[in-house]
């Protein structure tokens, strides 16, 4: 199990109860081992962060970015977060909410390909 700050568990539960429309749409396609039989978790604490989606076997994190992620300060924070998660050997995929809504098949193809080497 990857390290995480245990104080984030309650926050993660709250986020799972209040997912964005983009998160809900993606969750419908990655849950219940629909991608290569791999288990995904949503709003998963890792280190001092809560990632949107996490697949431990594929060592994959998926982040869906809303409008606030276009701000320079938030972009810097996201880059630092990605670096810290990559140090754990994780691959990070980032998609905008707009991409999820307007290019859903392409988003799913990228996720499918990122998980392909881990097909059981």
In a domain, 1, yes or no: no
Q: Which domain holds residue 104?
A: 6-118
Structure-block tokens of residue 6: 């245990």
pTM of the model: 0.90
What would the pLDDT profile of 67-119 be if each residue is shown by its tens digit?
Answer: 665 677 778 898 999 999 999 999 999 999 999 999 999 999 999 999 998 65
For residue 44, the cross-strand partners are 51
Q: State in Å, rounded, how far the first CA of the chain is from the last one.
A: 20
- Rounded Cα distance between 63 and 95, Å, is 6
Q: How confident is the model at residue 44 (pLDDT cuts 50, 70, 90)?
A: very high
Number of domains the chain is built from: 1
């Amino acid at each position: 199990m990857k390290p995480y700050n245990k104080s984030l568990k309650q926050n993660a539960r709250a986020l799972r109860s209040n997912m964005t429309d983009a998160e809900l749409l993606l969750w419908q396609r990655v849950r219940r081992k629909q991608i290569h039989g791999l288990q995904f978790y949503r709003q998963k604490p890792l280190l001092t962060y809560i990632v949107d989606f996490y697949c431990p076997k594929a060592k994959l994190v998926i982040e869906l970015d809303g409008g606030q992620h276009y701000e320079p300060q938030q972009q810097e924070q996201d880059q630092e977060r990605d670096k810290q998660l990559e140090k754990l050997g994780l691959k990070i995929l980032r998609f905008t909410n707009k991409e999820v809504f307007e290019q859903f098949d392409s988003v799913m193809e990228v996720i499918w390909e990122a998980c392909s080497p881990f097909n059981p």
